[in-house]
Amino acid sequence: MTPEVVLRLTGVVKSFPGVRALDGVGLEVRAGEVHCLLGQNGAGKSTLIKVLSGVHRPDAGEIVWQGEQVSFTSPHAALKAGIATIYQELDLIDELSVAENLAIGQEPRRLGFVRRGVMRRAAQRVLSQLGHPEIPVGAEVGVLPAAAKQIVSMGRALSRRAKLMIMDEPTAVLAHGEVQNLFRVIRDLTADGIAVIYISHRLEEIREIGDRVTVLRDGRTSAVNLDAKTTPTRELVRRMTGRSIEYVFPERHAAPHTEPLLAVEGLGRQGEFSDVSLSVHKGEIVGIAGLVGSGRSELLETVYGARRPDTGRVLVDGRPLHPADVGAAVRAGLGMAPEERKRQALLMGEPVYRNITLASLRRFATVGFTRAGAERAAATRIADDLELRPRDVHRPVRTLSGGNQQKVVVGRWLLGGTRLLLLDEPTRGVDVGARAELYQMIRRLADSDVGVLLVSSEVPEVLGLSDRVLVMREGRLIHQAPAEELDEDTVLDLVMAGSLLEGSPT
Amino acid sequence: MTASTRATTAEPEAVREPDRRVVSLDSVKRTATLAAVLLALLVVGAVTRPDIFLDPAKLWSNELTVLSLASAIGVITIGMTFVMIGGGIDLSVGALLALASVWCTTVATQSFGVTGVIFAALAVGTGAGIVNGLLISYGRLVPFIATLAMMVAARGLAQKISGSQTQINRISFVNELASGKILGIPYIVVIFAVVVVLGWILLNRTTFGRRTVAIGGNAEAARLAGINVKRHTLALYALSGLCCGIAALIVVAQTTSGSNTNGDLYELNAIAAAIIGGTALTGGRGTIVGSLFGVLIFSQIANLFTVNNLPTETQRIVNGAIIVCAVLVQQLQMGRFRLPAFAWTRRGRTPAT
Amino acid sequence: MSTSRRRLLLGGSALGAGVLLAGCTSNETKGNDGNDQTKVSGGNNAAPGKTVTIGFTAPAADHGWIAAITNNAKAQAGKYSDVKLLAVDPGKDAPAQIAAIQSLIQQKPDAIVMLPYDGAQLTAVARQATDAGIPVINLDREFADPAAAFTLIKGDNYGMGVSAGHYIGRKLRGKSDAVIAEIAGIDTLQLTKDRSKGFADTLATYGLRVANRVAAQFTVDSGQAVTANLLQAAPKIDAIWNHDDDQGVGVLAAIRQAGRKEFFMVGGAGSLDAMEHIKAGDSPLEATVTYPPTMASSAISLARLTAQGKGMEDLVELQVPKLIVLQSETVTKENVDRYRPLGFKS
């Protein structure tokens, strides 16, 4: 017996000025299934979610929810109808307790007073149902780890009797073990007949948890209801990109340079990482593999001067860098593409060219007066070099896809004449096609003698791109080797367990 | 930074000149709206007092009055615009104006003559602005709190220095700024115009202006791009203080005196003018031209009320309504033409409130 | 300056130029055979008596007139060897002043001179003091309940309008099309309404009316701003009455900047600056109608007499009057030299 179809979209269109974000999208979700939504950045996934959750109203097309045609006027209306969305940046209130967050807006009340006992018991029940009775219902949400917050967020959807949960990149904030835990919760939910729309960039997750896949490309449905387990990867990629590509890592140098550029000596920060020593040579790409929370982002930011080290020092060209001084680091030739592009790197409302020239404004100024022509010409050339799409450097950065935004950040440092680039998760939120371009670009940089220190959660990326790999675990560097001498399993073992497991090849 | 020696790819020389679109569609639209509002106010004047507004000579004289009265608050609003674009707020401007006006008109200061008076006004304003900046960037106080404290303290200091009495300014050069004219235009209006032009250049044509926008738009991104956010923030508040000093001179010239009651509620008027001119309270966005229009609109409204012999209470209600309308229009434009997704998500994401 | 004021007061030539007696008509001392119910001055109230403590509170000074009130009170108290002045910080508003007065009551002064932020709001605490046996001298802003104060001494706001109206009315008599402008103070205050009403009522007796009326904020810059606009609104003016000489500094500045000379102007309150302009004749300001802050000095004297159980020597009664309303006098070029010592620094 085929389960009933709870949600059916046909011919949904949504336009913004200058962009047709959705151009006739269809979607069919059955009760109790995990329906995966796949597509490159800019393919329309986010817009589709917002249409479903009542944030946007479609210009045309039909949404049939549980047999009735609907048009949600607000997120509240969608929630009342049983569609809950769990966002990447969780929409919980950090200052309230778990129980209060779960009950918010529908607190059990008597004579206007909140019945705290009832509220706590209800919270306990929901969390147990999700298999996480250990989450303290009285704790402030702000102190919980990301994974627990996600569970609370799902609990909130559950306590509102949601029939459909939309999860936007739920694993982006989770460590490996927590992902498995999340999958278990999802399976429990679907067993109760709740439908899940699941969005992720990680194909292996889709294979593991998904039932069916709908692929979006350029605001249209390019494939519907593919089998999540059996459809070949190449087929999925082809549907997403319209062409067939694979992860292609550029070739390495025959022999990397040996001139040292960056030396880190015994760097440490209380509670984050300790006693880290490493070096990066000219033209060398050094990759750091490690889990979220292993201290790798903090390490990168400390090297860059954005955090003050407790111990140790950073040397560039053998000269120590003034600690906790980004300006000094930039003057010494360092540049960083941080993990959270939107929050840490980009002026989203400003045009592309102003983002590119942000770190080297002085070069385009005479006694403080900017020379607009020179500035835009330089930015345009960088944009051409990086094959920025669209090429128009006057567009606000926020209109660009994730991959192109990343190009803008890297372009900023290219323009600044940076000699050592620190890359934190350079391909997060970047689609497959743009990834390959970014890899090429990073290698080209190294070929022009720029040193690169790279951090990534994706082991294949670290292995494929780097000349040398460092493994970081719980704030310490525990292993280093040329990339050729390592394989994915080995690195994963080191990352997860801290040592090579028995029977692993070395 | 001598980056040119190690530039790997780019040199400033133009490969080809990209199309020049300096002014975004948005700001054109906003400026046009504001100009239309100002024009509408003049039409109201023409209907209600045709004897003034349809007589070129009287209209000219009346509008010079409007501009004169807009000068002090206008100069302050320019400083406020920079602070607000930089993501801050300066509540102390009215009090700093009072303090500078009192300091520069004490008997002791006046004994140093005209340079003493001018120097005192500018130095006191800038100095207090620097204190604001130090508290905010290095003391890590929230701008609202730091400048609120300065507002209270500076007003108190002004009362102490003056003994709460009006100090008559006897330096005729300064008084002459308000009564004297060049090409028929009062000097204070010329000062205002110069400040506006310099402000425009500073914001749109210099690295300082660009950094201001960057810091206000995303302070963390600016810091990680190597911009010295603290030093720049300090400079912004010093700039606002300097504007207060200039405005104090204008007020001293206009009233021929310094008083601790000067500049009452100027902070709110300046913020309101900047906001209706399109400056975002959240920082990162705003224009000098917009702020100029904001100031002129308020000043023209005050003028219309007086020439029509209407009570001041009504004027306050109208001013309040205008602020609300301006912000509503701003949000409407943002909702439709800017940030299509993000702005709505944030609002929509709190379910069941 | 203070010396002459004191001499004026104690010499018995009355407070300023006249004293209006009202209320408290003391009981008839009927049929006290042989006892003279009349009296011709004399006495030596100035001579030191029993040492008394006088509490004093007035709103925090933010402009000249209020500053003069406090300064006068302190100076006057300093003249008496038998007065100890207990000036308490009034805080920033009525509730703070109430708290200050309550702590003052604890210290049991012999009398309290009180210029309240708001007469109605301070009535209850004045009652407390009175009930505690401390006579309260109510200065200028009237309590809601007359019983809350032993004596009220105040200026005459309506009378200011009357005086200004008479001065202007006499000069413009018969010119029924005369353009008269009025620059009021803070429009929401009752005292502003009283002044305006007195002005309008008096002008009406001359067949005149106010053509243009604007309101400033008692501050110099607001005075300048509204006047600049007013002068645009009215291309020809015959007379201006400005309620307040503090804001008058700005008013005169605006007039000078506009280069207007065709009218004359009357001020209000009686600041030193205004009097100097009247004397010099260098501006349209021809006269000002007083609302003298010297009332604070008088209030201290009244408090001292009350605390010492004395009356005013010129009067027959044994206690000070219940209500004293000061004349609003008209200061012109002719009499300015007499008034100059009473002018306050704005």
- Tokens 């959660």 found at: A457
Cα(B220)–Cα(B170) distance, integer angstroms: 50
Task: Answer for the pair B221, A345: CB distance below 8 angstroms, yes or no.
Answer: yes
Per-residue confidence (pLDDT) for residue B38, from 0 to 100 = 93
Among the listed residues A417, A425, A482, A481, the one whose alpha carbon sits nearest the alpha carbon of residue A449:
A417
A and B make contact (3+ CB pairs below 8 Å): yes
CB contact under 8 A, B14 and A373: yes
Confidence of residue A395 (pLDDT cuts 50, 70, 90): confident
Distance CA C312, CA C144 (A): 26
Cβ-based neighbour number of residue A179 at 10 Å: 17
* Three-state secondary structure of A456-485: ECCHHHHHHHCCEEEEEECCEEEEEEEHHH
Mark yes or no for CB contact C221/B263 under 8 Å. yes
Residues of B in contact with A343 (CB under 8 A): 218, 220-221
Please report the pLDDT score of residue B8 as a whole number.
Answer: 38
Domains and CATH numbers, chain A: 5-241 (3.40.50.300), 260-332+464-500 (3.40.50.300)
| Interface probe with A: pick from B202, B206, B207, most Cβ of A within 10 Å | B207
Closest CB from C217, C250, C259 relative to B264: C217
Q: Which residue in B210, B215, B338 has the most chain A C-beta atoms within 10 A of its own C-beta, making it the best mutation to test that interface?
A: B210
A34's CB contacts (< 8 A; 6+ apart) are A186, A190, A196, A198, A209, A210, A211, A228
- Phi, psi dihedrals of residue A93, rounded to the nearest 5°: -100, 110
What CA–CA distance (Å, rounded) separates C184 from C76? 31
Chain C residues inside the 8 Å CB shell of B69: 225, 228-229
Q: Which residue has the higher pLDDT, C10 or A421?
A: A421
DSSP of A25-36: EEEEEETT-EEE
Q: Mind giving me the DSSP string for A119-137? A: HHHHHHHHHHHTT-TTS-T
Asked if C262 and C288 count as a contact pair (C-beta separation under 8 A), the reply is no
Token pair of C38, please?
């009349």
- What's the rounded Cα separation, in Å, for the pair C2 and C294? 9
What backbone torsions phi and psi does residue C189 show, to the nearest 5 degrees?
Answer: -80, 145
d(Cα A387, Cα A73) in Å, to the nearest integer? 40
How many angstroms separate the CA atoms of A212 and A196, rounded?
A: 11
Q: C214, B306 in Cβ contact below 8 A? A: yes
**Residue in chain A nearest B211 by alpha carbon:** A358
pLDDT band at A255 (very low <50, low <70, confident <90, very high): low
Between residues 232 and 251 of chain C, which touch chain B (CB distance below 8 Å)? 232-233, 235, 246, 249-250
Pairing of strands A68-69, A60-65: antiparallel
pLDDT of residue A18: 59
Chain A CB contacts of B19 under 8 Å are 394
**CB of B299 less than 8 A from some CB of C:** no
Of A364, A412, A450, Cβ closest to residue B8: A450
Reported as half-sphere exposure (CB side, CA atoms, 13 A), residue A324 has a value of 8
The per-residue pLDDT of chain A, averaged, comes to 84
pLDDT score recorded for residue C91: 78
pLDDT at A244 over 70: no
Q: Is C212 on the interface with B (CB under 8 A)?
A: yes
CA atoms within 13 A on the CB side of B125: 29
Banded pLDDT at A458 (limits 50, 70, 90): confident
B115: closest CA of chain C, how far (Å): 22
Residues C257, C225: Cα–Cα separation, whole Å: 11
Answer whether C282 touches B (CB < 8 Å): no
Q: Which residue has the tokens 């024009």?
A: B39
Comparing alpha-carbon positions, the chain A residue that sits nearest to B222 is A345
Amino acid at residue number B335: G
pLDDT confidence of A89, banded at 50, 70, 90? low
C-beta of residue B253 within 8 angstroms of C-beta of residue B175: yes
Tokens read off for B92 = 């102390």
Tell me the C-alpha distance between B96 and B102, whole Å: 10
Q: Is B312 on the interface with C (CB under 8 A)?
A: yes
Using a CB-CB distance cutoff of 8 angstroms, which residues of chain A are in contact with residue B5?
417
CA nearest B13 in A: which residue? A374
At C162 the pLDDT is 96
What residues of B are in contact with residue C226 (Cβ under 8 Å)?
Answer: 306
Instruction: Say which residues have a Cβ less than 8 Å from residue A1's Cβ, sequence separation at least 6.
Output: none
Best mutation target among C89, C179, C229, C275 (most B Cβ atoms within 10 Å) is C229
Q: Encoding tokens for residue C200?
A: 């309008």
Q: Walk me through the domains of chain C, giving residue ranges and CATH numbers.
A: 19-27+34-155+293-326 (3.40.50.2300), 157-290 (3.40.50.2300)
Task: List all residues 6 or more positions away from B347 whose beta carbon is below 8 Å from its beta carbon.
Answer: none
Q: Which chains touch A (3+ CB pairs under 8 A)?
A: B
Q: How far is A420 from chain B (nearest CA, A)?
A: 12
Contact A182, A145 (CB under 8 A): no
Q: Given this model, what pLDDT does residue C37 score? A: 77
Chain B neighbors (3+ CB pairs < 8 Å): A, C
Peptide bond into A390 cis (omega under 30): yes
CA pair distance C248, B311, nearest whole angstrom: 20
Taking contacts as CB-CB distances below 8 angstroms, the residues of chain C near B175 are: 253
- Mean predicted confidence (pLDDT) in A221-228: 87
In the prediction, which pLDDT does B211 show?
94
Cβ within 8 Å, pair C249-B311: no
pLDDT on residue C8: 39
Strand pairing report for A164-168 and A195-199: parallel
Sorting pLDDT into bands at 50, 70 and 90, what band is A1?
low
Query: In this complex, do B261 and C229 lie within 8 Å of one another by their Cβ atoms?
Result: no
C229: nearest CB among B51, B178, B306: B306
Which residues from chain A sit within 8 angstroms of residue B280, using beta carbons?
none
Tokens of A62: 């039909």
Is C298 near chain B, with CB under 8 Å? no
**Distance between CA atoms of residues A82 and A156, nearest Å:** 12
Contact B341 A47 (CB under 8 A): yes
Apex CA B230: angle with CA B228 and CA B234, to 5°? Answer: 120
Measure the CA–CA gap between A310 and A305, rounded to whole angstroms: 12
- Residues 156..195 of B with a Cβ closer than 8 Å to C: which? 159, 163-166, 168, 175, 178-179, 186
More confident residue, C231 or A339: C231
Distance CA C47, CA C305 (A): 11
pLDDT for the residue A256: 59
Q: Which fold has domain B23-331?
A: ABC transporter involved in vitamin B12 uptake, BtuC (1.10.3470)
Distance from CA of A340 to the nearest CA of B (A): 10
pLDDT tens, N- to C-terminus, chain C (346 residues) = 444 444 433 333 333 333 444 334 444 444 455 567 777 766 778 888 899 999 999 988 777 888 899 999 999 999 999 999 998 888 778 888 888 898 899 889 999 999 998 888 889 899 999 999 999 999 998 898 889 999 999 999 999 999 999 999 999 998 889 999 999 998 888 889 999 999 999 999 999 999 999 999 889 999 999 999 999 999 999 999 999 999 999 999 999 999 999 999 999 999 999 999 999 999 999 999 999 999 999 999 999 999 998 888 888 888 899 999 999 999 999 999 999 988 888 7
Least CB-CB distance to A377: which of B15, B339, B350? B15
- A133-144 mean pLDDT: 86
pLDDT tens by residue, chain B, 353 residues: 333 333 333 333 333 333 444 445 667 888 888 899 999 999 999 999 998 899 998 899 899 999 999 999 999 999 999 999 999 999 999 999 999 999 999 988 888 989 999 999 999 999 999 999 999 999 999 999 999 999 999 999 998 898 888 888 888 898 889 888 899 899 999 999 999 999 999 999 999 999 999 999 999 999 999 999 999 999 999 999 999 999 999 999 988 888 888 888 899 999 999 999 989 888 888 999 999 999 999 999 988 988 888 877 788 888 888 888 877 876 776 554 443 333 333 333 333 33
Tell me the three state secondary structure of residue C87: strand
Question: Exposed, middle or buried by CB within 10 Å (0-12, 13-18, 19+), for A332?
Answer: buried
